[in-house]
Amino acid sequence: MKLITKNIQGQLVKSIDASNRIFGAKWNPTLVHQVMVGQLANKRQGTASTKTRAEVAGGGAKPFRQKGTGRARAGSTRSPIWRGGGVTFGPKPRSYRKNTPHKMKVNSLISALSQKVRDKELLVIEIPDGLDKTGPISQYIDSLGVNKPTLLVLDGCNETVLRSIKNIPRVNLMPSNLLNTLEVIRHSSILMTLESVRNIESIWDKNTNAEEPEQS
């Protein structure tokens, strides 16, 4: 599998060889969707809470006598049908956590990365040593002609470069070892350094059983 590399002028300089098992796997929308649902569920706090009629303050006294008023009988002012009463089927604190097998996470990430390559939404970039200011880095990203939001997967860059990139709107930063399916899918473009590509291959190439597309 060949990955496109662009320089600081946004020009195509070369194509690098990459693992076909990582960047050339089949697109598996069912698996990717299942893993993303699990990731989004795990982000939920699950702290929403309402009070039932037993938990709402007050309502101890019967509001009016049982018979003779012409109204429907009532035993408490905190009934769910009363204003200020409890909530019948409201939310309570709970866990939305979904446990996803490790192999599913790895294979869905590989499937998402491979689809980004096929859609030409993944580029390999070279960041020169002197490029450590927000303005020049932002101009460099714009010169690549990529769509935002953009995810930069960087390894081996100094702290000054990382701080400068964090100031650019709609550009997010992530190390390669924390890359996941949700971040790959929710960003329109993925930019990686060569070090990040090699690190991804070293981490996940031996842990995948993703199917490679048939050669036509």
Taking only the tens place, the pLDDT of each residue in 57-105 is 998 899 999 999 999 999 999 999 999 999 999 999 999 999 999 999 9
Query: Distance between CA 124 and CA 21 in Å, rounded?
Result: 17
**Domain extents for the chain?**
2-44+97-207, 46-95
* Residues contacting residue 95 through CB under 8 Å, at least 6 positions apart: 46
**pLDDT for the residue 212:** 53
pLDDT tens for each residue of 180-205 = 999 999 999 999 988 889 999 998 87
Strand partners, 124: 5, 192
**pLDDT for the residue 216:** 38
Q: How confident is the model at residue 214 (pLDDT cuts 50, 70, 90)?
A: very low
Query: Distance between CA 127 and CA 133 in Å, rounded?
Result: 12
Q: In what order do the strands lie in the sheet with 150-153?
A: 12-17, 2-6, 122-125, 189-193, 150-153, 171-174
pLDDT tens for each residue of 111-161 = 999 999 999 899 888 877 777 788 888 888 888 888 889 999 988 667 778
Q: Give this prediction's pTM.
A: 0.81
**pLDDT for the residue 101:** 95
* Domain 2-44+97-207 part of CATH 3.40.1370.10: yes
Q: How confident is the model at residue 32 (pLDDT cuts 50, 70, 90)?
A: very high
**pLDDT for the residue 207:** 53
What tokens appear for 96 in the block?
């939305």
Using CB atoms within 10 Å of the CB of residue 12, give its burial: 0 to 12 exposed, 13 to 18 middle, 19+ buried: exposed
Query: Distance between CA 170 and CA 150 in Å, rounded?
Result: 6
Q: Indicate if the pLDDT at residue 31 is higher than 60.
A: yes
